[in-house]
Structure 1
């Protein structure tokens, strides 16, 4: 029998208006490693950058589409409204709070959320994030901090945290998450539900908030989609069968080279399922990961054209 259960969050993909500024913020301020600099496989004229832990482990990937000519997104309901990131403990939150003050990063200070310490903050383009302390956390294991990054390893971001979704039809949306994906509610309040994915904890939670305001409009500074982990090719194929049985439209299995993917829209939210492998370590040496433009084999014949279309930016760190 195929094990097709969701294993946690795989990655979150957001939109930026400036890949260079975003790269500097994520690597130099947040201290996450660029593990792949490639292009959007559906739009080869734009970058797709992947930031993660030291080895690009699934469940640690924060990725960005570079859309410099797209308008700024509009906040609102029926959207993925905040990206979660994990740090080891409460002391790490205090470290980042001081770091944000030093770098002029807009933040809301450390606060409590469902018994956890969190630190909400924003990128310059308005992208919203939240650091979650793993102190006393149980569930999905984190990744490995970037060993050569600017943040001490005992303080550094080492995985994705709970993803926040704001929705106008809370009950129906939660019913879909539990019925389709077998997510388990662990907090249920009048206008908010927290659900565990897989083994749960900070590496496998979805926070759903009810919001009856106007719907958000996608653009830079907003999240494009969230992806959840599945084991392998057989699990993806099983999910295709499940979607067909449920009458849900979907993309079919898409080979992204670094992982296999399956897309479906649940209400307003684009949900991807992605395999844990092959991963990001097969086509570049560990020491120079993310320093060159990486292309999957099917795009390699177009390298000269692609490199003529995208503006280069230097991500070399191994000098």
Structure 2
């Protein structure tokens, strides 16, 4: 996916009544989504919860787009021509529909529900994402992971993984990155991460053992969810700081609820993030944009894409400064 949005979403604090919070339980911050077009003013619209002013990262997770369900006949579906990435990994996860992925490694793959495609941009990659002609409804999430400085310029890569379904206490869980409920993904990441889809049956309370060194984010796709003591509604993301070794998640609705759980230790580096590039300085961004506009070998070429590339937007008339998280609580 491509990032053309600069304004922040909103944040509200959890638990209006402090006395309702279980003793020692962490406070949940609620990040509300901002709706933005995907790639252009007439493009499919998505709900973006990361990044924003109040929170840039959850672990190394630095970008979260949540979209659909969209009727492709009305929205046009996903139609992103070749565009570049640096300094990050992209994680594609669908709930319904099908997306054709092509990249400058020569990869030609399909993104399907319950299957993860992870692409490493590193020093530079380009890819295209187009919903297939058979897709009538498109619905899912696109997530980005910031690469640490040590690996920021690593070689481009692509991995595909179909996680095994785990059924736990009235919930169905698919772990696509990291470890949870005794399941571990073999997919390579460059920092410790957790990524899982969790579908919870009506009025079920699910208690998960998690890594206390991680901070966590729970993105709600459907249903009203109570995370610890705070209600999250569809398209909201609840943030829990590190220190919690369990998360209690309650589906308070009469239908199954779907969520995405993200986690990782606090990312100890500031990042400069603009459009589809992640660097450490304004100069990193300027150079990446120049290389893309010049069609340099840095990003490669998708030989069989039937159309042109996505041009980079103009740079702002200011120095792009690092994004910072608030101090760790």
Length-normalised TM-score, structure 1: 0.27
Larger RCO (CA under 8 A, 6+ residues apart) = 1
**Which has the larger share of helix?**
1
**Which has the larger share of strand?**
2
Length-normalised TM-score, structure 2: 0.26
